[in-house]
């Protein structure tokens, strides 16, 4: 094929369900929708939550395109290119090992037919197995890349280490320092200016005494000292530098830090610390900074099937929220009261829920809501799609703080990976925003147990 030739992108259903505006993302090229994709969209249009809403949005888009032209021959799109529905191709042969009645294989037939017509065909799907089958048949295949973060985006940790000139080090705690007073060195010992991002946390080492360190944060061209380093929210004290940084981001008001993104491996106390600060702000803070703490935890299978489960909403989401309850029990039992009686511990936790200090919801129920004066924790946010995380952040009303927690390397969603999940997407898009504070915890900062730390370093 000649470079610059118009390509034909055959789009799978899972791309449209995750990104309903994907039809408008292929520039001057042709978008081809197999008939089976429409059938799958029709089957999903009544589904609960985001899947159903996105299916309906795509169907409405296709209906508007149908009314504007012949969608079987191709309808031009405002941004260039065209979209067409392919209803034929049933006659195209497949290897005997690929059943012809399977939806994925019907999509492959459309790709084969388009290739025979001389088109430069690329299959776009989030299904890794379908991409493998496509390549086996000589059909180029790729993931939907518009929501894919760059390969080096994971290098940004929201924290760094710099050297500070000894003659200005003593003034740091009272007034901070300008960026030209700090530096880094390369492997050969050459002094270089650091490339710092707004709200990035900094460990400052005295250049004459590197063992003497101070902690700060980048703000408007300066490195300023931390405000809450000495705090102990709900009786919890930081055990390492990463937790000091988390504490600073979580304790800061929603006006200053309305979005906090915390990444890190299991056992680094991401959820534990977020709950501790939430309880401090909601239960112990008489100023009423937040009305309540709202906790959500995305789960692919659960979010899809919640409508079919028996019981109340609380009973439905109880299994999903068990890790949250474990952290709450640990928080309550680690304070001054130190409950020896299990019944007393459970009664205290139950009272917190009865007073509506804490609410827990499935992701489905957040859709369409506007959250005001809420301390919102999204745990396991790496299982969210980019579209979901965008929807959550845009739900934030006045006085609401959103905390996204997760580990991009631990993903349960079959259609997401380290570069396409919502947590990584939000981290890259919001990097440098004065309203977003990010921090990545290190493997060495695992506090769960010696065994957990050892396992993290070995696996």
DSSP 359-401: EEE-GGGGTT--B-SEEEEETTGGGS-HHHHHHHHTTB-TT-E
Question: What SS3 class is residue 233?
Answer: helix
Residue 147 maps to a domain: no
Indicate whether 99 and 173 sit together in one domain: no
> How far is Cα 58 from Cα 456, in angstroms, rounded to an integer?
42
pLDDT tens, position by position, 195-225: 999 999 999 999 999 899 999 999 999 999 9
Residues 347 and 415 reside in one and the same domain: yes
Average pLDDT for 400-408? 96
- Do residue 100 and residue 199 come from a single domain? no
| Residue at which a domain ends, from 191, 225, 259 | 225
Closest CA to 283 of 238, 322, 317, 332: 332
Closest CA to 312 of 365, 357, 262: 365
Single residue among 142, 166, 185 that ends a domain in this structure: 142
For residue 354, pLDDT beyond 80: yes
pLDDT in tens, 47-94: 877 889 899 999 999 999 999 999 999 999 998 999 999 988 888 999
Please report whether residue 426 resides in a domain.
yes
Q: Which domain holds residue 170?
A: 152-225
Q: Using alpha carbons, list the distances in angstroms from residue 305 to 20, 40, 41, 216, 323.
A: 21, 17, 17, 45, 20
Provide, rounded to the nearest whole percent, the portion of the chain with pLDDT above 70.
91
Give every CB contact of residue 186 below 8 A, 6+ residues apart in sequence: 192
More confident residue, 404 or 333: 404
Rounded Cα distance, 192 and 186, in Å: 7
**CATH number, position 446:** 3.40.50.300
Query: Tokens 């990584």 correspond to what residue?
Result: 424
Cβ atoms of 268 and 242 within 8 Å: the answer is yes
Whether 119 and 185 map to the same domain: the answer is: no
Residue 54: in which H helix or E strand, if any? helix 49-68
Phi-psi group of 31: left, alpha or beta (phi > 0 → left; psi -120 to 50 → alpha; rest → beta):
beta
Contacts of 165 (CB under 8 A, 6+ apart): 181, 182, 207
Cα gap 269→247, rounded to integer Å: 11
- Beta strands at 436-440 and 401-406: parallel, antiparallel or unpaired: unpaired
Q: Helical H runs in 159-312?
A: 166-169, 172-175, 241-251, 270-279, 300-305
Q: Do 131 and 12 form a contact (C-beta atoms < 8 A)?
A: no
Nearest Cα to Cα of residue 422 among 407, 435, 440:
407
89 and 194 housed in the same domain: no
303 pLDDT more than 50: no
Which DSSP string do the residues of 59-72 spell out, in sequence order?
HHHHHHHHHHS-TT
Q: How far apart are CA 253 and CA 436, in angstroms?
A: 12
| Helix, strand, or coil (residue 130) | helix
Say if 232 falls within a structural domain.
no
Question: Which tokens hold the place of 71?
Answer: 């969608």
Which of 81, 110, 142 terminates a domain? The answer is 142
d(CA 376, CA 323): 16
Indicate which CATH number applies to the domain containing 81. 3.40.50.1010
CA distance 25 to 91: 30
Angstrom distance (rounded) from CA 413 to CA 398: 32
Q: Does residue 186 lie in a domain region? A: yes
pLDDT in tens, 307-325: 544 555 565 566 667 888 8
301-310 average pLDDT score: 48
CA distance 110 to 117: 11
Question: For the segment 103-123, what is each residue's pLDDT rounded down to a tens digit?
Answer: 999 999 999 999 999 999 999
In this prediction, residue 396 carries a pLDDT of 87
Check whether residue 209 and residue 253 sit in a common domain: no
* Same domain flag for 113 and 133: yes
The band of 451, judged by pLDDT with boundaries at 50, 70 and 90, is confident
Number of domain units in the chain: 3
What average pLDDT does the chain have? 88
């Amino acid at each position: 094929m000649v470079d610059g030739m118009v390509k034909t992108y055959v789009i799978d259903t899972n791309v449209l369900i995750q990104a309903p505006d994907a039809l408008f993302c292929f520039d001057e090229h042709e978008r081809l929708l197999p008939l089976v994709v429409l059938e799958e969209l029709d089957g999903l249009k009544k589904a609960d939550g985001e899947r159903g809403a996105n299916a309906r949005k795509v169907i409405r888009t296709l209906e508007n395109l149908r009314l504007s032209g012949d969608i079987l021959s191709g309808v031009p799109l405002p941004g260039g290119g065209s979209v067409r529905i392919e209803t034929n191709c049933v006659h195209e042969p497949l290897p005997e090992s690929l059943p012809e009645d399977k939806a994925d294989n019907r999509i492959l037939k459309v790709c084969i037919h388009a290739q025979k017509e001389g088109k430069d065909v690329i299959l776009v799907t989030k299904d890794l197995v379908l991409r493998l089958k496509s390549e086996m048949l000589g059909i180029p295949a790729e993931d939907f890349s518009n929501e894919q973060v760059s390969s080096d985006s994971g290098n940004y940790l929201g924290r760094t280490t710099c050297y500070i000139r000894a003659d200005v080090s003593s003034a740091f705690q009272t007034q901070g320092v300008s960026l030209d007073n700090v530096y880094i060195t390369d492997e050969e010992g050459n002094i270089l200016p650091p490339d710092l991002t707004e709200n990035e946390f900094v460990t400052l080492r005295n250049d004459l005494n590197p063992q003497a360190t101070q902690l700060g944060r980048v703000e408007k061209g300066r490195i300023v000292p931390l405000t809450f380093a000495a705090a102990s929210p709900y009786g919890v004290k930081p055990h390492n530098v990463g937790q000091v940084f988390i504490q600073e981001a979580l304790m800061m008001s929603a006006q200053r830090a309305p979005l906090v993104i915390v990444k890190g491996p299991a056992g680094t106390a991401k959820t534990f610390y977020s709950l501790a600060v939430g309880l401090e702000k909601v239960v112990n803070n008489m100023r009423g900074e937040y009305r309540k703490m709202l906790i959500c935890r995305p789960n692919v299978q659960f979010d899809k099937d919640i409508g079919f489960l028996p019981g109340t909403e609380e009973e439905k989401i109880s299994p999903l929220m068990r890790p949250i309850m474990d952290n709450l029990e640990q928080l309550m039992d680690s304070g001054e009261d130190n409950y020896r009686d299990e019944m007393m511990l459970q009664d205290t936790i139950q009272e917190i829920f009865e007073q509506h200090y804490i609410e827990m919801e499935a992701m489905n129920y957040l859709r369409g809501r506007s959250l005001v004066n809420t301390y919102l924790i999204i745990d396991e946010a790496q299982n969210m799609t980019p579209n979901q995380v965008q929807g959550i952040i845009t739900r934030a009303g006045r006085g609401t703080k959103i905390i996204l927690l997760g580990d991009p390397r631990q993903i349960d969603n079959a259609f997401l990976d380290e570069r396409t999940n919502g947590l990584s997407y939000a981290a890259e898009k919001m990097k440098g925003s004065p309203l977003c504070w990010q921090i990545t915890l290190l493997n060495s900062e695992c506090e769960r147990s010696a065994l957990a730390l050892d396992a993290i370093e070995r696996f």
